[in-house]
Amino acid sequence: MALRHIVLVTEQPAMVNAVSAALSNNGQLLTQDVCRGLAELVERLEKGPAPAVIVDIDGQARMLASLEPVIRRFPESRFVLLATQMQPNLLLEAMQIGARHFL
The residue that leads in pLDDT, 28 or 70, is: 70
Please report the pLDDT score of residue 101 as a whole number. 80
Residue type for position 87: Q
Integer angstrom CA distances of residue 28 from 1, 4, 31, 39, 70: 16, 10, 10, 22, 23
Judge contact between 59 and 84, C-beta under 8 A.
Answer: no
Q: What is the pLDDT of residues 3-58, one digit of tens each?
A: 557 899 999 999 899 888 888 776 678 888 999 999 999 999 999 889 999 999 88
Please report the pLDDT score of residue 98 as a whole number. 80
- CA 87 from centre of chain: 18
Please report the pLDDT score of residue 1 as a whole number. 40
pLDDT value at 69 more than 90 = yes
